[in-house]
Amino acid sequence: MKTTFQNITGTFDILPDTYDADGTAVPSAAAWQHVEATVRDVMARFHAQEIRTPILEPTELVARGVGMLTDIVSKEMFAFERGDVHYVLRPEVTAPVMRAYLQHRLDQRGGVQRLYYIGPCFRAERPQKGRYRQFHQFGAELIGAEDARADAEVIALMLAVYRAFGLEAVTLRLNTLGDAGSRPRYKEALQAYFAPYTADLSETSRRRLQTNPLRLLDTKDEKERRLLDGAPVLLDFIDPESRAHYETLKGLLDDLGIAYVEDPFLVRGLDYYTRTAFELESPDLGAQSALAGGGRYDLLACELGSDEPVPAVGFAAGIERLFIALAAQGTALPGPAPPDAFLVALGDEAARYVFRLAQELRAAGLRVAFDLKGRSMKAQMREANRQNAPYTVIIGQDELAARRAQVKAMDTGMQAGVAFDDLAAYLKGPVPART
Ligand code: HAM
């Protein structure tokens, strides 16, 4: 047999039914819809409004926004050119949202913009469980407020989504990165601290020490982690205003009863953050432990051409990782929805009538399925069962003559004769109980 095309490694199809892809369950399309609907519901409670930006963005936007030295920009972009235009498949949505905010002068809508999104992102990472090349994020961006309450609200919103799924066993890690001046001072201090240990560092870490020393803070190498114990801590290099902002934020989280762990080494893999940075972890994710992450990015607007900073804070979450955490806690997710009725035809004439009846019932608002392969009655009944239809509507020569169908409630096996003209009303009514 010829082999047919396969999807690209690190991407996956979402099918009507759940299936297994390399040892990880890919949930059904209905499960994805359920997750998206729950996210939308929580977003609406925070009065966040949806924004949809293109999958394709100018490469320069991502390079400037996310940062030239980040892994995302230096190694993981799916970028290409057409004529003079440089395109990138968006690796994240914060920079595109800020682009849209500036481009469309969304500040003129007044007040704070609470925006949310759900959609695919693309990063050329090494695929593994919880890490894909096409993955899906939901997230929210609060644009226009400097107040630490905006930071606290974004964190509360993020946690509210996980709570809506019954996921409580999560850890919020929190840090402050200070203002634009704090990090250069800290980077110098880190470089000075590590200089005598250069020989002990891996080649990657040696390179990072020169280009982006903050990246050393999330090293996985045991020896390097031990060195970190004595390393300077970012908090000691932070400007007083950022420190005050951080203290206020912690107080607000305490007010809301939100537990957090302060992590002075949390720096995040994107360059646009100032002040607040946070990550949400789940013990169920293994190596890819981050369910979601975010922070404040008041200077991103300037990178994108604005004369003025635009205070903003947001988070984004991986939907695939949410599914992994849900599976670990045994949460049942919906499968394909059954039709309200499955129409069974006996003979050609009945099949022709059933074809017309199906459209009439659908026009009346019912979900209706039927056979298109001319199969036997037994095969049609089997199909109705497989689809979990609560009713089958059986029509043969006798029923055509009497203009009455045999309606069988699949659960109880009870059968009733129902006039063709009354079918829609009958099928919409309650399934009769066993007597
Ligand atoms: P991020 O930490 O790069 O932040 O991504 C957010 C979340 O997306 C991660 O915590 C993870 O759940 C998921 N994710 C990232 N990469 C992958 C991947 N390759 N496969 C599967 N899931 C992945 C951002 O994207 C920022 N835009 C967050 C933000 C919003 N900051 C401010 N506003």
pLDDT tens by residue, 91-101:
999 999 999 99
- Strand-pair category, 24-26 with 19-21: antiparallel
Ligand 1, atom 22, lies closest to the CA of 318
Locate CATH 3.40.50.800 in the chain.
341-428
Query: Ligand 1 centroid to 73 CA: how many Å?
Result: 14
Residue of 89, 142, 270, 319 with the most ligand 1 atoms within 8 Å of its CB, for mutation:
270
CATH architecture of 341-428: 3-Layer(aba) Sandwich (3.40)
CB of 116 within 6 A of ligand 1: the answer is no
Instruction: Please tell me the predicted confidence (pLDDT) of residue 435.
Output: 58
323 lines ligand 1 (CB under 6 A): no
For the Cβ of 316 lying below 6 angstroms from any atom of ligand 1, the answer is yes
From 28-42, 125-139, 165-179, 199-213, the region with the lowest mean pLDDT: 199-213
Helix (H) or strand (E) holding 390: none
Q: 432 pLDDT exceeds 80?
A: no
Q: Three-class SS of residue 117?
A: strand
Q: Would you say residue 48 has pLDDT above 90?
A: yes
Residue 431: pLDDT over 90: no
Separation between Cα atoms, residue 299 and residue 94, nearest integer Å = 12
Question: Which residue in this structure is represented by tokens 């996310």?
Answer: 66
Q: At what angle do helices 29-45 and 148-164 cross, to 10 degrees?
A: 140
Which tens digits make up the pLDDT trace of 394-428?
999 999 999 999 999 999 999 999 999 999 999 99
Q: Supply angle C-alpha 423, 424, 429, rounded to 5.
A: 95
- Average pLDDT in the 381-401 region? 97
Residue 263 beta carbon below 6 angstroms from any ligand 1 atom: no
pTM of the model: 0.94
Distance CA 271, CA 81 (A): 25
- At residue 105, does pLDDT exceed 70? yes
> What is the b/e burial string over 126-152, where b = at least 16 CB atoms within 10 angstroms of the residue's CB?
ebeebbbbbbbbbbbbbbbbbbbbbbb
Confidence of residue 222 (pLDDT cuts 50, 70, 90): confident
| Sign, Cα dihedral of 82, 84, 90, 93 | negative
As given in the structure block, the two tokens for residue 301 are 């607007």
CA 45 to chain centre: 18
Annotation: CATH topology of 19-179+238-328: BirA Bifunctional Protein; domain 2 (3.30.930)
Cβ–ligand 1 contact at 91 (below 6 Å): no
- Band of residue 189 on the pLDDT scale cut at 50, 70, 90: very high
What pLDDT does 148 receive? 98
* CB 67 near ligand 1, within 6 Å: no
What is the model's pLDDT at position 221?
86
Q: Are 376 and 394 in contact (CB under 8 A)?
A: no
Residue ranges of the chain assigned to CATH 3.30.930.10: 19-179+238-328
Percent of the chain with pLDDT over 90: 83
Tokens of 242: 């950022």
Question: Which one is predicted more confidently, 44 or 222?
Answer: 44
**Which residue do the tokens 């953050």 mark?**
273
Mean pLDDT of 375-379: 96
Residue 215 pLDDT: 82
Percent of the chain with pLDDT over 70: 99
DSSP per residue, 283-326: GGGTTS-EEEEEEE-TTHHHHTT-SS---EEEEEEEHHHHHHHH
Q: How confident is the model at residue 208 (pLDDT cuts 50, 70, 90)?
A: confident
User: What distance in angstroms lies between residue 319's CA and the mean position of ligand 1's atoms?
Assistant: 10
Mean pLDDT value of segment 375-383 = 96
Provide the mean pLDDT of the chain.
95
At 212, the pLDDT band (50, 70, 90 cuts) reads confident
Instruction: Please work out whether the CB of residue 124 comes within 6 Å of at least one atom of ligand 1.
Output: no
